Structure 1
Amino acid sequence: MKTDQKLKTDVLAELAWEPRIDETQIGVIVENGVVTLTGFVDDFYKKVAAERAVKRVKGVKAMAGDIEVKYGDAFKETDKEVAKAIVRRFAWNTVIPYEKIAITVRDGWVELSGEVEWAYQKDGAKRVVEKMMGVKGVMNNIDIEQKVVPSDIKNRIIEAFHRAADIDAQNIEVDTEGSTVKLSGTVHSIAEKEDAQRAVFRATGVTKIRNELKVAFNS
C-alpha cells in the first residue's frame, strides 16, 4: 500500500510531467489517499489539466480541486461576450447539436442545459467550454434523451471494457436496470474509473450511470 508521502511524490511528479501547467503554482495535500489541490492559475483549462493529471496517478482514492482561476487585468470580456464565444465554438463543432443546448454565464461560471441524444455530445460540450478564455467553472446539466435499451447491453459494455487498453475489465461488475447501468468493483485510478464510465455511455440507450467503482489504494 502506498503511503501518503509516496502518493504525494507521485502526484507532484505527474504534475511536473504535464506541459500545460506550472506545478510550482499548485499546492498538494494528501491525507488517507485523498488529494487536495490548492493555488491559483490564470486559465481554467490549466486547472482541468492539473486535476486530470492527479486522476491518472495510481492509488489516488479521491480528489478535491480547490485551485482558483484568476484571469489577469488585461482580460476584459463580459459574461455576455463569453457566452457568445461559446455559441460560436459550438456552431463550428460538428459533434455538438448546439441548437439543443442552452448556455448561461454568471461571473465566468458556465451552466449548460438542454437535451442531447448521446452522452459523448454532452461530454464534448463540456470539453469545448473548458478550453475557453474567461471560463472559471462548468456545470454540465445537459440531459440525455431516453432510448430503448437493447437486451444485450450488458454484454456489449463488457466487450467494450475488454477492448479498451486503459480499463481492467476483470475487476469490474456491470448491472443494468432499464436504461440505468451500475458499475461496481475496483480500478487502479480515478482516470480508469472515468474511462469506464465514458465507455458505458457509448452504449445505445444508456441515460444514467451509478458509478460505484472504488480505487484500489495500493502500489
Structure 2
Amino acid sequence: MSEDYCTSHSPLSHIRSQVLHHIHSVLQTMGSHINDYHLVDYTVTFNEEDMKLKEIHEELNILISKEDLLLPETLNVKQREAYDIIFQKVFAEESATFFIDGPGGTGKTYLYRAILAPVRSRGMIALATASSGVAAILLPGGRTAHSRFKIPLTCEKDTTCTVSKQSGLAKLLQCAKLIIWDEAPMSHHQSIEALDLMLKDINDSA
C-alpha cells in the first residue's frame, strides 16, 4: 500500500502515516478502529480536525455521472411527483420525512439516484444508505445504515448509535441536506428509533 503514497521527497514516516490513515478510514466504515488490531507496536493517533473534515470531503467528492444527472428527465408521473416534493423541502431547508413504497422493480432505486445526483451537483451533502449491502452498492456512495449511523447489529429496547457530538460523523450529519435510507422497513424499528434519537442529540433538537 505504501507505493501509492511514495514520491521522490516523501519521508518514510509520512508514507507510513498515510498508509495507516487509509487503513483506519476503511476500518471506520465497518465500525472498527485501527488500534483494535495492533498493526503497529504503538497507539495510532490522528489529527481530530483533519478526520472531521475528511468525512465531509469524501462525501463532497463522490463522482456524479452524466447519466444520473439526466435521470430526472426520465421519471414517470409518480416518480416525478415524489421528486418534486422532496426537492422542494431540500432547497427550502425544511425538515421532512418521506416514505417511498412500491414492489420490487418499480423504480425506487432509480428515483433515489435521480434525487442524489442533482443535490450533490449543487455542492450539497446527500447521504445514501440502505439496510443491506446489496442495496447499498446500487446507490452512488452508498453505505449500509449500520455502518453509516453506527447502529449496533443487535438492537434492544435502549439501543443507541455510538456517535459523539464532537465526531467527524456528527459534523457530516449536521451538514447533510438529504438522507436516503433504502429498505428501511427491513430494519428493526429500534434501529430507526436509535437513529432518530442520535440525530436529535447531535443537533440539540427536542
Q: TM-score, normalised by structure 2?
A: 0.29
Is the helix fraction higher in 1 or 2?
2
Structure having the higher strand fraction is: 1
When normalised by structure 1's length, the TM-score is 0.28
